[in-house]
Structure 1
Amino acid sequence: MCKSKCSCTAYTNSNISGTGSGCLLWFGDLIDIRTFVGIGDTLYIRLSASELDSIKNSKSSSAVRRGRVIVPVASVVLVIIISICLYYRFNRKKQHQQGTPEFGHDPENRSDDEDLELPLFDLSTLLKATNNFSINNKLGEGGFGPVYKGVLEDGEEIAVKRLAKTSTQGLHEFKNEVISISKLQHRNLVKLLGCCIEGAEKMLIYEYMPNKGLDSLLFDKTRSELLDWPARYHIIIGVARGLVYLHRDSRLRIIHRDLKVSNILLDKDMNPKISDFGTARTFGGNQIEANTNRVVGTYGYMAPEYAGDGIFSIKSDVYSFGVLVLEIVCGEKNRGFIHKEYCNNLIGRAWELHNEGRSLQLVAKCLGESINVYRILRSIHVGLLCVQRHPEDRPNMTSAILMLESDTPLPSPKEPGFYVGKIMQDTPQSSSSYGISSNNELSISILKGR
């Protein structure tokens, strides 16, 4: 009806005055729609064809503009997401190739999630401190790699332990050492100052020990004279106290697993400090022993149950301590100890002499008049108690240090591990039996199938 009248400008379907549905038409200006159009009614307005075309074109152009904006924005977002994914993938691949540590889960040591709280050193700082790792600054080399002396800008002396590319140890040992020792504080443990991880370089920074490793003095025929008996006894007691802290008093119960003379460092006052925690294991709760298929350590210091079956406990460290005590008293290495009448190591020889009441024959000749016979015999006795074949027969380190420092009666030691005995006179000997043996002091890893 509205379309049939040219002057009609709008219409609506409406319930007018309650009389039922109807049709309401407007002619002229729409000035009263609020009066007649109720809530929800639809008002139909008449427009010219030109106005309709303009509205359609406006809507169409707006849609096109929105489309033109959405497409570039979506493309940019997609490119950003792809770039981020590629960056992280490349970065993880680079870390894996270069061996950059990611301190995550490790089945061999469950303390990896601990906050390290350890300062990081820049590679440039260490290069300057060590004169670009000059050979003149090299202090020594172990299974982890070379160790260099360095001096920081503030004059502090440091020792930089640098992981060698050809090292028998690697990321596992590096990560383990950082986690194990970063939480430990004791006067008989070497202090870890920080680490450096840049590219393929992985380094540990320690306090500098002017007198280096105990092995550099003990097994040197000329320098061993610097270690009189009081100094040696002081070292034995210091190492024992360090182990008591690791096994009992620290908030982490730690088994060192590679205790040996070369891992005992000496400061300027000859105070011993246990070092090299790359193979250490952490025990939790009431755990007293564990089993591993990755046997690590050094031959001559490993307990029989650990070397043979991979079973280790605090008694494994006790065995290593016993070997160390005998080496300090004798001034000879357990491995490579040669005696023409015995097919034995130093432990076996000490056992034989103890049974014959001749233990003083084991004492290093360079000790001279500095010896305290009572303390030396007691140290040998305690050393033999620590290297007994069965772990349950060995004392713990708390008992060992009490026996060393007190005058209480000591139990008789039982047969030590790796004891062979006398060679039968009619047993043929090869010409190389008494030659100079090769002593490998590097830590080893043995994989054993289960």
Structure 2
Amino acid sequence: MGCGCSKFYRCCTDLEQNGPVLEAHSVPNEESNELDLPTFHEYTIEQLRMATSGFAVENIVSEHGEKAPNVVYKGKLENQRRIAVKRFNRSAWPDARQFLEEARSVGQLRNQRLANLLGCCCEGDERLLVAEYMPNDTLAKHLFHWETQPMKWAMRLRVALHLAQALEYCTNKERALYHDLNSYRIVFDDDGNPRLSCFGLMKNSRDGKSYSTNLAFTPPEYLRTGRVTPESVMYSFGTLLLDLLSGKHIPPSHALDLIRDRNLQMLTDSCLEGQFSNDEGTELVRLASRCLQYEPRERPNPKSLVAALIPLQKDTEVPSHVLMGIQHGTTALPLSPLGEASLRMDLTAIHEILEKIGYKDDEGTATELSFQMWTNQMQDTLSSKKKGDVAFRHKDFKAAIDCYTQFIDVGTMVSPTIYARRSLSYLISEMPQEALNDALQAQVISPVWHIAFYLQAASLLVLGRENEAQVALREGSAIETKKKATS
């Protein structure tokens, strides 16, 4: 291992004697005015239905168990802000006033270390939370189920610090209670930076249970009283330090036995060999042990954890996405010809590709037929589509817009391809906002259609919204790559 055990052995003896970590001044966190986030907002169910393409199965990013049944969807608001929508089952939060009060209170928090709560929805039986969307998975995925590379030691230390800073901020804002703190509650943003999910700042469900994980990982006082306290959160922080050190989810009782028996090689991830010093390993074990003290009053507070973790940081000048091996920006995107054409805003190339593809991606798309379709109106509707296709082929884009609009306005058939073709026609006709609206509508009809995302990117680039365009390009590329891999 990269850490010889001689100093670790000394650490094990010292742990019995050292008191709680001393408090010290920490680096202040950035406040909301630097985050460019809107104030807390109450959404309608229709707004969130549109944002998630009708709560499409394709947009589910996580589901939770029986004790706290809920589903989290990814979505996109009309202003292009990406969101995560947590939808509780009907039996959760029966008291609408209690839900709104809790959500509004959490929604006042704004910090760079949080995946912040942007709003909620409380209509009828519906109870939904709306948060910033974090696209780069959870700590559990990167620690326990990694595919390309294990998480580096410097990044594990960064995760510990950012988490401690998040808890310190929440404590300073009188939101010290965090429910069921675990590796699934830590998510990674576009830059690969770790954030603490705001969802854990609210109770899981109406029964008020704070822990839905294995009881082996819950604080001893919670097992006795059923209540979570700020000291209980510190206990859970200690279990996360063990996760970071070991790369495994080791029950605290077993970990403490290993520390007492000085069997610390079993406690350290073999993938970390050579990446950290004896002192670094010793300090992390010491911090974890202090957090896991049986008596709550003997555990450190977030401020002292931050002070202890700051000196341990390594490679601070290296961006998180580099340490994580995460693609960042458009330069690393493996773009297809359509993606490249969208990035270059080469509308002629996009037209050629769309014309070649035709309507093959409409296969399986829902078709709405009414009795009117069996009258002369059906012939008129199909005729307007055919005229639109001829105009699109011959690059008469004004006529294409008019004909496709006639087809869409009748509302008897739903076609993402027609919205895509009209979107491009709008773009070429120098109407980028209308083009963006149609590309978004194509995504609503077909949530995992890469062409819709590419057209959004092209429209956003014309509108000068480059950052949002890069996000749309990444999403389109990921969907297209996945589609090719499964076909």
Structure 2 residue 220 is the aligned partner of structure 1 residue 304: yes
Distance 1:198 1:176, change over 3 A: closer
**Aligned match of 1:385:** 290
Structure 2 residue 255 is the aligned partner of structure 1 residue 353: no
Does the 8 Å contact 2:181/2:200 carry over to 1?
no
Aligned partners of 2:239 and 2:197: how far apart in 1? 17
Q: Deviations over 1:390-422 (max 9, x none)?
A: 112212222222233348xxxxxxxxxxxxxxx
**Structure 1 length normalisation: TM-score?**
0.54
Task: After TM superposition, list the pairs within 5 Å mapping 1:46-445 onto structure 2.
Answer: 118-142=40-64, 143-165=68-90, 171=95, 174-175=99-100, 177-222=102-147, 225-247=149-171, 249-250=172-173, 252-277=174-199, 280=202, 295-298=209-212, 299-310=215-226, 312-334=228-250, 346-406=251-311
Distance 1:257 1:278, change over 3 A: closer
Aligned partners of 1:189 and 1:170: how far apart in 2? 27
Does the 8 Å contact 2:103/2:202 carry over to 1?
no
SS at match of 1:262: coil
Q: Deviations over 1:217-248 (max 9, x none)?
A: 2221536x34211111111111111111222x
Distance 1:126 1:325, change over 3 A: same
Distance 1:177 1:277, change over 3 A: farther
| Deviation for aligned residue 1:366 | 2.8
Stretch of structure 1 that moved more, 297-306 or 200-209: 297-306
Does the 8 Å contact 1:144/1:170 carry over to 2?
no
Aligned partners of 2:85 and 2:54: how far apart in 1? 12
| Deviation for aligned residue 1:171 | 4.7
SS at match of 1:210: coil
**Structure 2 length normalisation: TM-score?**
0.50
Aligned partners of 2:289 and 2:310: how far apart in 1? 16
| Unpaired runs of at least 5, structure 2 | 1-38, 313-487
Does the 8 Å contact 1:318/1:397 carry over to 2?
yes
| Deviation for aligned residue 1:174 | 4.1
| Deviation for aligned residue 1:144 | 4.9
Distance 1:397 1:127, change over 3 A: same
| Deviation for aligned residue 1:186 | 1.8
**Aligned match of 1:414:** none
The structure with the greater share of residues assigned to helix is 2
Aligned partners of 2:211 and 2:201: how far apart in 1? 7
Aligned partners of 1:279 and 1:170: how far apart in 2? 18
Aligned partners of 2:276 and 2:200: how far apart in 1? 35
Does the 8 Å contact 1:259/1:301 carry over to 2?
no
Does the 8 Å contact 1:141/1:147 carry over to 2?
yes
Q: Deviations over 1:351-378 (max 9, x none)?
A: 2332343424312223344344432331
Does the 8 Å contact 2:69/2:89 carry over to 1?
yes
Distance 1:171 1:273, change over 3 A: farther
SS at match of 2:75: strand
CA RMSD in angstroms, aligned pairs only: 2.8
Aligned partners of 1:176 and 1:366: how far apart in 2? 45
| Deviation for aligned residue 1:311 | 5.0
Does the 8 Å contact 2:60/2:73 carry over to 1?
yes
SS at match of 2:184: helix
Distance 1:388 1:134, change over 3 A: same
Distance 1:374 1:149, change over 3 A: same
Does the 8 Å contact 2:85/2:131 carry over to 1?
yes
Aligned partners of 1:398 and 1:348: how far apart in 2? 25
Does the 8 Å contact 2:116/2:198 carry over to 1?
no
Q: Deviations over 1:94-134 (max 9, x none)?
A: xxxxxxxxxxxxxxxxxxxxxxx731223222222211111
| Deviation for aligned residue 1:197 | 2.3
Q: Deviations over 1:125-156 (max 9, x none)?
A: 22222111111111001335111111223322
| Deviation for aligned residue 1:159 | 0.8
% identical equivalent positions: 30
Does the 8 Å contact 2:210/2:227 carry over to 1?
no
| Unpaired runs of at least 5, structure 1 | 1-116, 282-292, 335-345, 408-450
Distance 1:241 1:325, change over 3 A: same
Aligned partners of 2:164 and 2:40: how far apart in 1? 27
Q: Deviations over 1:47-73 (max 9, x none)?
A: xxxxxxxxxxxxxxxxxxxxxxxxxxx
**Aligned match of 1:83:** none
Aligned partners of 1:181 and 1:126: how far apart in 2? 19
The structure with the greater share of residues assigned to strand is 1
